[in-house]
Amino acid sequence: MPRLLHELPEWSVVSFFVFWSVAPAGLVAFAWRKWAQARSQLTATGEAVDNPAFLIGQILGTISCCGILAFYVPWRGAWDQVRDYGVIVSFGAALIALFILPFGRNRAKWLTAFGCVMNAALVVLFVLSLGD
């Protein structure tokens, strides 16, 4: 696999990683929209639908999507730590969200779960690329 990356044009590899980091954000945003639609509906007793496991998983999924953006910070001076910690926070938030989201009652939880899997896989690829 590393040999294949060296043979591809640089723009195609960069485009792939940019798309891969933006796609989970779109999935999480769509899940937030679904949550907002479900939140506006009332139960039979007239109360708003409450789903704390889904909400916590959504927040962690959002942090995971924002943390991965630190991957695009240039390697200069003090920004090195921002990049490293952003990637670590993204990976940690994605893993924690993956453990919490299955307990949510909203079907849109799988959008966020898939986004978290994509973010975690991107972090793993980033770490593996440092070894070359």
For residue 32, is pLDDT > 70?
yes
In the numeric block, the tokens 């109360």 are attached to 47
- What pairs with residue 42 in β-bridges? 48
For residue 97, is pLDDT > 80?
yes
For residue 28, is pLDDT > 70?
yes
Burial of 12 (0-12, 13-18, 19+ CB in 10 A): exposed
For residue 34, is pLDDT > 60?
yes
**Are the C-beta atoms of residues 2 and 132 closer than 8 Å to each other?**
yes
pTM of the predicted model, to two decimals? 0.75
Residue of higher predicted confidence among 32 and 127: 32
